[in-house]
Chain A
Amino acid sequence: MTTITVVNAGLREPSSTRMLADRLVEAISAEVADAQIRHIDLRQHAHAITDALLTGFPSGELAEALASVRDADALVLVTPTFQGSYAGLFKSFADLVEPDAVRGTPTMLAATGGSERHSLVIEHAMRPLAAYLGLLVVPTGVYAATADFGGQGAPELTRRIHRAARELRTLVGGVTVAEAPEPAGSGHAEIDAGPLLGSFTPFDELLQSVSGAGR
């Protein structure tokens, strides 16, 4: 089974961003036979996201949402374009993702906007963020302006959706991005302290590296 988490930062009900997300899911489900889709509509978590920024920890359903991002086999990130960039809520959610939690996760990026003039938002705003998070992003970004849902842009949008879905399938099915092993003797032996804590260096080794005088 391939778990795919879809993060939608659309604020309206109904939301054209969510509509785009649904079309992406439809195309992905056709490509990835065993896809299991989990939707995260950030609107529902907006208050909890602010709380988490203030307290330093996510709680309840937001914690589950972040876990489903962390554990996903692939991600689909969809945001409306506000003031020439991704929505603030989208960035606030991204700010809560733990460092390295999504490194190497195959990802599709998509955005909506009022007109075609914002279509580079994916390349200029979303891709740098995805690069920071270490996401493995498909080459085709899917941007949909209002006119693309029904007007003359509609066939081209459909083509882009299917191309992005095929690209995501190849990444999900074909590649494993594992961290390259450290060359022997280059670092400290790390001990895994489990969830929430990460790994740490055994103390005697740390002491040696910090202080020549040691114990």
Chain B
Amino acid sequence: MQFGIFTVGDLTIDPVTGTTLTEHERIKATVAIAQKAEEVGLDVFATGEHHNPPFAAPGNPPVLLAHLAAKTEKLILSTATTLITTNDPVHLAEDYAYAQHLADGRIDLMLGRGNTGPVYPWFGKDIRDGIDLAVENYALLHKLWREENVSFEGKYRTPLYGFTSVPRPLDGIPPVVWHGSIRSPQIAEQAAFYGDAFFHNHIFWPKEHTERMVDLYRRRFEHYGHGSADQAIVGLGGQVFMRANSQDAIREFRPYFDNAPVYGGGPSLEAFMRETPLTVGSPQQVIERTLGFREYVGDYQRQLFLIDHAGLPLQTVLEQLDILGGEVIPVLRKEFAALKPGHVPDAPTHASLLAACRATATKETDQSYAAPVTDRWTGTTAETDNAPSAL
């Protein structure tokens, strides 16, 4: 099972000190957090994509991910989320493949639609087309990473004829894609249709939404013939704040909870902990609550925690990572592994897909089958229609 953190890159006033980080400080803090995540033994760091204040998350996440690739060795670098609605799928195909090469395959991405209405028109789109954009744009992205001469006519971008997205994905293996959605069954359906992974952010909302969306995704994954429902690839978010003594955790986190715009003026911390997966307490409480997630989503493959928001100081976030890496995740790793049946797969990674690919290739070579040879200059094969009219 993979464990990690995801960030929205918010610039929120620290209610205790009354200060807000500058954009520069927040961006550098994000890098420090990612490096620390690797240092304490986490598997995944995922960044949000934002186009408006008060966020200092990248508008184009591969910029950050490529930098982190150079600063880390093993960490999987991901997004939470990449906007599949307002980005041009051609740019997504190019930038994430390029970053994938730089990171030697340690890049994956999570697609989301984005729920900030004003962002859509800035990119010439309409939020009411959100689902249709997600469907069409991903259909194109999926194709661009798998086919070399792509012709595509859709509703939302200029058509392509005989287009090859470069660089090609590393080892011919597209980055692993997760589809994220809180309550749109159509997105769970999309993940299931492609046999891709599904992520539920599992914060801010009662668990019932998570439970129903994951259940739907699992059933449809099986329906589309990718495996049994319990073999579908599921990721969850979560939100924690820990101190050795649970009362200390609550005392320290309360001002951040009470003032952050995302909660401020709403329910009490206690009510929010009861109604949503937020856990503020001791490491042991976090371990118990997190182990409980599988009771309503089944055995799952990726757990990401939100720990760096609401104006929490960098030092505090780094301490949270020490607790996560030192006390919580080693126990969770062991416990989850002991519970997971053998036929439930791990989350796919570039390395695992490459190994599977090589195993298949070896088998096929044994059967005297060779894949069509691609011309090294044109990137096309003899079977491809290369007529000039197609250009």
Q: Which residues of A contact B (CB under 8 A)?
A: 50-51, 54-57, 59-60, 193-204, 206-207, 210-215
Contact = CB atoms under 8 A, between A and B. Distances in A.
Contact of A213 (B154, B188, B272): B154
Interface in B147-176: 151-155
Nearest to B261: A54
Contacts of A59: 206, 267, 271, 275
Interface of B: 131-132, 135-136, 139-140, 143, 151-155, 183, 185-186, 188-190, 192-193, 204-206, 208-209, 212-213, 216, 220, 224, 263, 265-267, 271-272, 275
Contacts, number: 92
Contacts of B132: 210
Contacts of B216: 193-194, 197
B205 A57 contact: yes
A196 B271 contact: no
28 contacts: A50-B266, A54-B267, A56-B205, A193-B212, A194-B212, A194-B216, A196-B183, A197-B183, A197-B216, A199-B185, A200-B185, A201-B186, A203-B193, A206-B135, A210-B132, A210-B139, A211-B135, A211-B136, A211-B139, A211-B153, A211-B154, A211-B155, A212-B153, A212-B154, A213-B140, A213-B143, A213-B152, A215-B139
A203 B188 CA distance: 10
Majority secondary structure, A binding face: loop
Contacts of A60: 275
A51 B190 CA distance: 32
A204 B224 CA distance: 10
Contacts of B275: 57, 59-60
B113 to A, nearest CB: 14
Given A54-B267, A213-B139, 12 more contacts: A55-B272, A194-B216, A195-B212, A197-B183, A200-B186, A200-B189, A202-B189, A203-B190, A211-B152, A213-B140, A213-B153, A213-B154
Contacts of A198: 185
Nearest to A212: B153
Given A57-B205, A57-B206, A213-B153, A207 B139 contact: yes
B363 to A, nearest CB: 26
8 closest A-B pairs by beta carbon, nearest first, are: A203-B193, A54-B266, A200-B185, A193-B185, A211-B154, A51-B267, A213-B152, A197-B185
A151 B225 CA distance: 73
A166 B153 CA distance: 59
A197 B266 contact: no
A196 B190 CA distance: 18
B129 to A, nearest CB: 9
B220 to A, nearest CB: 8
Contacts of A215: 139, 143
B139 A56 contact: no
Contacts of A206: 131, 135, 186, 189
Contacts of B212: 193-197
Contacts of B186: 200-201, 203, 206
Interface centre among B139, B152, B205 (most CB of A within 10 A): B139
B136 A210 contact: yes
Nearest to A53: B266
Contacts of A214: 139
A203 B139 contact: no
A210 B135 contact: yes
Nearest to B131: A206
Nearest to B193: A203
A201 B193 CA distance: 12
Contact of A55 (B136, B189, B204): B204
Nearest to A195: B212
Contacts of B153: 211-213
Contacts of B205: 55-57
A56 B262 CA distance: 11
Contacts of A196: 183, 208-209, 212
A55 to B, nearest CB: 5
B185 A55 contact: no
Interface centre among B185, B188, B216, B275 (most CB of A within 10 A): B185
Nearest to A214: B139
A102 B185 CA distance: 21
A59 B266 CA distance: 12
Nearest to B182: A56
Contacts of A56: 204-205
A111 B109 CA distance: 54
Contacts of B193: 203-204, 207
A210 B138 CA distance: 11
Contacts of A54: 263, 265-267
B204 to A, nearest CB: 7
A200 B213 CA distance: 12
Contacts of B209: 57, 196
A1 B391 CA distance: 70
A34 to B, nearest CB: 32
Contacts of A210: 132, 135-136, 139, 154-155
Interface centre among A60, A196, A199, A203 (most CB of B within 10 A): A203
Contacts of A211: 135-136, 139-140, 152-155
A55 B266 contact: yes
B198 to A, nearest CB: 13
